Structure 1
Amino acid sequence: MSTRTTPADVPAAEERSRRTWVLAITSIASLLVVLDALVVATALTAIRTDLGASITDLEWTVNGYGLSFAVLLMTAAAAGDRWGRRRVFAAGVALFTLASLVCAVAPDVETLIAARVVQGAGAAFIMPLALALLSAAFPPALRPRALGVFGSVSGVAVPLGPLVGGAVVEGVSWPWIFWINVPLGVALLVLALTRVEESRGPDRTLDLPGLLLAGAGTFGLMWALVQGGSVGWAVAGLVAIGLFVAWQRRAAHPMLPLHLFRSRRFAAANVVIFFHWASAFGVLFFIAQFVQEALGYGPLAAGLALAPWGLTTVIVPQWVGRSVGRFGERPFIVAGLGLHSLAMVWIALVAHPAAGYAAIAAPLVLSGTGIAMCLPAVQSAVLTSVAPQFLGKASGAFSAMRQLGGAFGVAVLVVGFTAAGSYATPEEFSNGFTSAVLTGAGLAAAGALAGAVIPRKG
């Protein structure tokens, strides 16, 4: 018996194809953005040797990317609402690709740092618009599942970053960690312009005072964290954020409507992602070093040691995406961050040079499972708690909180590390590492408490 396609089936098939393309394009773009935040970590020694970089130069090779990324997120979301989300997303991909090319051919460390700052700016115009385009393409009933796939793809970059960096540095040379972005970026640009439909927010008036105050506030806070807790910059950032909030209350066309925070789901979920990424990013920073400094692994072996953690970020988010509609986001957020926190306590109890990698393998899987459970659930809580016209602005706020959380987590865990240990010997590093991961456990517990405030979906 033959099957015939009726005219009514054609639009449905076209719609499914369109959504599949949007999901693939936005997920791969987010993978590149997260990957490039981490891939440099295992290449720093080679960069220092090749370009004669100082330790300060190396810090800015990492921090320059995150600084411009965080500062421009809200601006990117507003620009997408004003000029078109696809157009701004495509511009971000183009800028990211061009900056990657400059990073790859950089003749000195100053050029590399400048290109990394521009690369972070391109990333800022990708991530919030990717979430907004994805949310606009999928109706609320299908959105959690799509976000689960999105979370799986972008989440795998967390453990993949050190692995790719180590493999490329040992197998070829460090510029190739940037060269690989170029063909991928060009392909994404072409596909975004041909396969993604344009969408805009209803309010196309740019809130220039809001953009300036939000950028100044984010810059002040990020700079304070990058500089190791500079009080002056932190105060300046908080003052600018206070002025931003005051301006948003009276602005005719606010870039971040404060009424969104009247939703307990939206407000609590933004607090959750701050602590989620603070703990996850800060812990990864030290675990990648622990297997090298304390256990004596090389860059590639260190990346492979994180592979069990990475497998969970591929599998778990898809299951969560399918289950959120039935159980709501709160159980996955609370249980996920609870598991991650317990895993960090477990690692703190057993981590020592004499114990070896086997002692931390099981809690690493537990930690990865918890982190992977939380991310798609908290994304769903944010993006299903706002009206469609506010998706771009909600995505910008969410992404900014995530980046601020990452910088905060590294800064706080560094304080915990230096209070108890140093790089002098493997034993001294283990002492500091224990303090750092316990700090990470506390941050995860704070995120779980915030998640408990999210109301049951229904």
Structure 2
Amino acid sequence: MVMASAPALLTTGSATAHTRAVGVFQTAAAVGLAIGPIVGGPLVEWIGWRAVFWFRVPLGLLLLLLTITNKPTTVAKSNEVDRVGTLLVSISLGAAVLALNLTATRGWVDPLVVGSAVAAALSVTAFVVFSRRVEHPVLELELFRSIDFATANFLAVVANGAMFATWLLVPSLLIDQLGTSLLVSGLVLAASPAATAVASTLAGRSTGRVAGWKLGAAGLLVEGVGMVGLSQVGVTWSPTHIALLMAVVGAGLGLFSVPNMATVMQGVGNDKQGVAGGLSLMTRTVGVVAGVATASALADRLEPSRGFFGSFEVVFAASGVVLWGSALLAGVLAVRAAMTGRLHL
């Protein structure tokens, strides 16, 4: 709920500053991700894994206090909440996430996996039918008629899916295969979001639709380079070498995410910014779960015959190829935008 609400706060600024504001938002999120592994590694090594959860409690209480004391003095009038639509979206997303999570341990034909997938499909169908009959649906399906809007959400799934596959397999590489300490492993993992923070700041300076798609294509291309580079990892690699490639992956995601979220946010009116923010974070979540589930399933299937490094190579090389294909799609949209001469305001 916090991550979905934060983008909606961008409407308090001018429309021309939205992209830069998105850059600041993405930078802040990336800084948090960078701090996490740096703090989490020592906490797990010195105290235990439960400390990773407990140390967030005082931070959450502090942020709650700041939120309460800084609430706006006026509240804008809003449309009636689409409770049924919200429920159907929640069921469909939850069922889909459950199905993807269970595939790694139960396989694709397990009754619970199949049942969850069917429940997700039925919920989506019911949501589409219901949304066409209400005056103010939680998500206006007409938005997906926009090529920019639909493609931006699709590419967000791909980019985040590839990125978070690294968070699944690279820790195993560092700790189990290379014998790296938890502290050093945390620093290596932090290289990726740290690079994302820097790249997001630079990407926030983009303004036009053409520039946005060009940046998005460049970001996907760079992220793919990092993934393919990681696919060549071996037992002689140092943590520094891996950290550099993790930084390349993170930089690519940062260059992509800012113009991508700006495209999604600018595709709806100010009264729907919360919905757009929620949708943007939902596609990220779907990408994360799908990426982790796919990478895990593929690695588990290949490891018995290829070993850890062989399966690692296939997963990361395949991710890189998918990212390069996505970069090509974003490049086509950049050319299309340049030819039509339309710019984001």
State if a TM-score over 0.5 links the two structures: yes
Task: Map Cα deviations across residues 372-392 of structure 1 (whole Å, 9 max, x no partner).
Answer: 111111111111221101111
**C-alpha spacing 1:293/1:174, structure 2 compared with 1 (3 Å):** closer
User: Quick one: which amino acid aligns to residue 372 of structure 1?
Assistant: G
Could you tell me which residue of structure 1 aligns to residue 39 of structure 2? 164
CA distance in 2, matches of 1:358, 1:301: 10
Residue 199 of structure 1 deviates from its aligned partner by 7.2
Q: Check if 1:394 corresponds to 2:294.
A: no
Could you tell me which residue of structure 2 aligns to residue 376 of structure 1? 258
**What is the TM-score with the length of structure 1 in the denominator?**
0.67
CA distance in 2, matches of 1:233, 1:200: 39
**What is the TM-score with the length of structure 2 in the denominator?**
0.87
**C-alpha spacing 1:129/1:200, structure 2 compared with 1 (3 Å):** farther
**C-alpha spacing 1:199/1:255, structure 2 compared with 1 (3 Å):** farther
Could you tell me which residue of structure 2 aligns to residue 131 of structure 1? 7
CA distance in 1, matches of 2:159, 2:318: 13
CA distance in 1, matches of 2:298, 2:256: 24
Could you tell me which residue of structure 1 aligns to residue 58 of structure 2? 183
Residue 409 of structure 1 deviates from its aligned partner by 0.3
CA distance in 2, matches of 1:198, 1:250: 35
Could you tell me which residue of structure 2 aligns to residue 289 of structure 1? 172
User: Quick one: which amino acid aligns to residue 156 of structure 2?
Assistant: I
Could you tell me which residue of structure 2 aligns to residue 436 of structure 1? 315
Q: Check if 1:298 corresponds to 2:174.
A: no
From 262, 279, 282, the counterpart of 2:162 = 279
Could you tell me which residue of structure 2 aligns to residue 173 of structure 1? 48
From 373, 397, 415, the counterpart of 2:297 = 415
CA distance in 1, matches of 2:325, 2:75: 35
Q: Any conservation in 1 of the 2:227–2:249 contact (CA below 8 Å)?
A: yes
Task: Map Cα deviations across residues 99-134 of structure 1 (whole Å, 9 max, x no partner).
Answer: xxxxxxxxxxxxxxxxxxxxxxxxxx211111112x
Q: Any conservation in 2 of the 1:160–1:303 contact (CA below 8 Å)?
A: no
**C-alpha spacing 1:189/1:276, structure 2 compared with 1 (3 Å):** same
- Map 1:34-53 onto structure 2 (within 5 A): none
Q: Which moved more, 1:193-202 or 1:256-265?
A: 193-202
Q: Check if 1:366 corresponds to 2:241.
A: no
Q: Any conservation in 1 of the 2:188–2:242 contact (CA below 8 Å)?
A: no
From 113, 119, 133, the counterpart of 1:236 = 119
- Map 1:218-233 onto structure 2 (within 5 A): 218-228=93-103, 229=108, 230-233=113-116
Could you tell me which residue of structure 2 aligns to residue 33 of structure 1? none
**C-alpha spacing 1:310/1:402, structure 2 compared with 1 (3 Å):** closer
Residue 198 of structure 1 deviates from its aligned partner by 6.3
**C-alpha spacing 1:294/1:343, structure 2 compared with 1 (3 Å):** same
Q: Check if 1:348 corresponds to 2:231.
A: yes
CA distance in 1, matches of 2:260, 2:53: 31
Could you tell me which residue of structure 1 aligns to residue 80 of structure 2? 205
Q: Which moved more, 1:310-319 or 1:173-182?
A: 173-182
**C-alpha spacing 1:410/1:201, structure 2 compared with 1 (3 Å):** farther
CA distance in 1, matches of 2:135, 2:18: 31
Q: Any conservation in 1 of the 2:222–2:252 contact (CA below 8 Å)?
A: yes
Q: Any conservation in 1 of the 2:11–2:18 contact (CA below 8 Å)?
A: no
Count of equivalent residues: 329
Task: Map Cα deviations across residues 18-75 of structure 1 (whole Å, 9 max, x no partner).
Answer: xxxxxxxxxxxxxxxxxxxxxxxxxxxxxxxxxxxxxxxxxxxxxxxxxxxxxxxxxx
Query: Counterpart of 1:227 in 2: which secondary structure?
Result: helix
Could you tell me which residue of structure 1 aligns to residue 141 of structure 2? 258
* Residue segments in structure 1 that go unaligned for 5+ positions in a row: 1-124
Q: Any conservation in 2 of the 1:338–1:445 contact (CA below 8 Å)?
A: yes
**C-alpha spacing 1:443/1:162, structure 2 compared with 1 (3 Å):** farther
**C-alpha spacing 1:326/1:445, structure 2 compared with 1 (3 Å):** closer
CA distance in 2, matches of 1:280, 1:143: 25
Higher relative contact order (CA 8 A, sep 6+): 2
CA distance in 1, matches of 2:209, 2:34: 29
Residue 213 of structure 1 deviates from its aligned partner by 1.6
**C-alpha spacing 1:309/1:352, structure 2 compared with 1 (3 Å):** same
Task: Map Cα deviations across residues 174-228 of structure 1 (whole Å, 9 max, x no partner).
Answer: 3332232222222211221222426767543122321222122112211101111
Residue 359 of structure 1 deviates from its aligned partner by 4.4
Q: Any conservation in 2 of the 1:159–1:307 contact (CA below 8 Å)?
A: yes
Residue 327 of structure 1 deviates from its aligned partner by 5.5
Residue 300 of structure 1 deviates from its aligned partner by 1.3
CA RMSD, Structure 1 to Structure 2 (Å):
2.4
Residue 171 of structure 1 deviates from its aligned partner by 3.0
Could you tell me which residue of structure 1 aligns to residue 197 of structure 2? 314
Q: Check if 1:403 corresponds to 2:285.
A: yes
